[in-house]
Amino acid sequence: MRSVVEHQAVVAALFDTPRPVRVSLPEALGLASLADVEAPLSLPGFDNSAMDGFAVRAADLADATEATPVTLPVAADIPAGRTDDLTLAPGTAHRIMTGAPMPTGADAVVPVELTDAVVGPVAAAATVTFTAPVEAGRHIRRAGSDIERGTRALPAGTVIGAPQIGLLAALGIADITVARPLRVVVLSTGSELVEPGNPLRHGQIYESNGAMLTAAATESGALGRHVHFVPDDTGDFLSRLGEVADSADLIITSGGVSAGAFEVVKDALSATGSVDFVKVAMQPGMPQGCGHFAGPRGSRVPIITLPGNPVSALVSFEVFIRPALRAAMALPAHRERVSARLGADIRSPRGKRQFLRGVLGEAQPGSGIVVNPIGPPASHHLRYLAEADALIDVPADADGVAAGSQVDVLVLR
C-alpha cells in the first residue's frame, strides 16, 4: 500500500507550475498576485481636509481665545470633488469638507464643531469665528502619506481579498496579474444516483458528491464546475469525460474505484494506461486513482478519481487535492494544522493513517485546544462531517489514542 505522503506527492506532481493571467479586479478575488504591483500614483493624490470645517492660515488664529475671538470672512466653499485651484487669501477662511482639496496658502483645518458655524446642510455664513489657535498642519491629509507613487503597493504572492481590491481600485488599477485559477470539473458516477429535486425510488440516492466536491474546489480558489453524473457504464463515462476534457485543468471523479463488480471509473480508465489505481494506507479513502486523461482534441488533463463514499471523497479532497490545487495556483496552504488534546479515547486500524471527524473547543477558557471525536469512523456519515470542524490525524502505526493525549488536527475552517 502507498502511504498518504507518497500519494500526496504523486497528486502534487500532476499539476504544472502556476501560470500568469491578467484579470480584472473582481475576478482577482481569492487569487494570488504573481508580480509586484507598483503604485502608479500617490495616495492621497493631493493634500486634502481630514474634517468638515474651515481651512485657515494658522498664523491668522494665533491670538484667538474665548475672550478675544477671531472672526474671518468665509471667502469660498470647497466641497469634496471641487477641481479648480483655490488660494486662501491671508485673513480669510474657506469652508471645506472632508476629502476636499486644501486651498493653496491654507496650512490647517479647524473642525466646524470648534467654530460658531452651524453643523449640517446649510449655506456657509459670511463669517466664521474662532476662539482658539490651531497648530499648522492640523487635520490635513498630506499627499502621499498613505502610499508614495512608485513604491510597492502589493508584493508578488499576495492573496487578493477585499482590502487589496480596495487599495488597487484606489490606485486606479483596473486589472492585475495573478496565477491562473484552475478549472476543475467534477463528474460523479453511479447507477443509483438521482439529481436532487426528483423523486427517489427504493435503492436510489441523491447525488451529493458532485455538489460537495465542486464547492470544495471553488472554496479552494479554483473554478469548480459540476457536470451531470453518469451511470455505471464505461461508454457513458468515457464520452462524458471526452466532452469536458478540453475545458478542464483538473477532472475529479467520484465513485467506481473500489473492489466491487461494477467499478466504472477503474474499468474505463485502467485500459487507457495513464491512470494508476492504488490503495493508500488511510481510512477513510483507501482506493485512490490519479493520472492523466487524453481528451479527444489533444488535451492531456490531470484526473483524480476519488472513492464514492461521501466522507471518503471529501477527506481525500482535503488530504490530497486541496493542498496540491492551491500550490498550483500559488496560493498558500488553506488548512491550519494544530496540536489538540484528545477529548475521548479513539481506536484506529494499525497500518492505516486515520482521519477522524472532530469538533474543536476549549475545556475551560485558556486551557488549550481540545478536540472531541464525533460520529463513527464509517465513511457514509455525512451528518457528522457537516458537524465537524476538524480532522483528527491518527498516525498509521497507532491502534488507538487515549483521551488526554495530544493529537495532530487539520482544521477545516
Interacting residues toward ligand AMP by CB under 6 A:
188, 190, 192-193, 205, 207-210, 254-256, 258, 260, 307-310
* 8 Å CB contact between 387 and 374: yes
Residue 133 contact, options Mg ion, ligand AMP, none, Cβ 5-8 Å cut-off depending on partner type:
none
Minimum separation from the CB atom of position 193 to ligand AMP (A): 6
Minimum separation from the CB atom of position 22 to ligand AMP (A): 36
Residue 33 contact, options ligand AMP, Mg ion, none, Cβ 5-8 Å cut-off depending on partner type:
none
* 8 Å CB contact between 129 and 115: yes
Minimum separation from the CB atom of position 380 to ligand AMP (A): 6
Minimum separation from the CB atom of position 375 to ligand AMP (A): 16
Residue number with CB closer to ligand AMP (34 or 186):
186
Minimum separation from the CB atom of position 327 to Mg ion (A): 30
Residue number with CB closer to ligand AMP (18 or 287):
287
Minimum separation from the CB atom of position 256 to Mg ion (A): 5
Written as nine digits, the cell of 303 is 484526473
Residue number with CB closer to ligand AMP (27 or 233):
233
Using CB under 5 A as the binding rule, the residues of this chain from 287 to 316 that contact Mg ion are 308
Residue number with CB closer to ligand AMP (72 or 315):
315
What character string, x for contact with Mg ion (CB under 5 A) and - otherwise, covers 325-364? ----------------------------------------
Residue number with CB closer to ligand AMP (253 or 372):
253
The Cα angle at residue 236 between residues 232 and 238, in degrees rounded to 5: 105
What character string, x for contact with Mg ion (CB under 5 A) and - otherwise, covers 171-200? -------------------x----------
What character string, x for contact with Mg ion (CB under 5 A) and - otherwise, covers 243-272? ------------xx----------------
Task: Give the Cα separation of 300 and 11 in Å (integer).
Answer: 15
* 8 Å CB contact between 56 and 134: yes
Please name the residue that has the C-alpha cell 487578493: 160
Task: Give the Cα separation of 63 and 68 in Å (integer).
Answer: 7
State which residue has the least CB distance to ligand AMP.
308
Residue 323 contact, options Mg ion, ligand AMP, none, Cβ 5-8 Å cut-off depending on partner type:
none
Residue 224 contact, options Mg ion, ligand AMP, none, Cβ 5-8 Å cut-off depending on partner type:
none
Residue number with CB closer to ligand AMP (190 or 343):
190
Residue number with CB closer to ligand AMP (172 or 196):
196
Task: Give the Cα separation of 108 and 282 in Å (integer).
Answer: 68
Minimum separation from the CB atom of position 285 to Mg ion (A): 15
Residue number with CB closer to Mg ion (235 or 296):
235
Task: Give the Cα separation of 386 and 348 in Å (integer).
Answer: 21
Binding site for Mg ion (CB under 5 A): 190, 255-256, 308
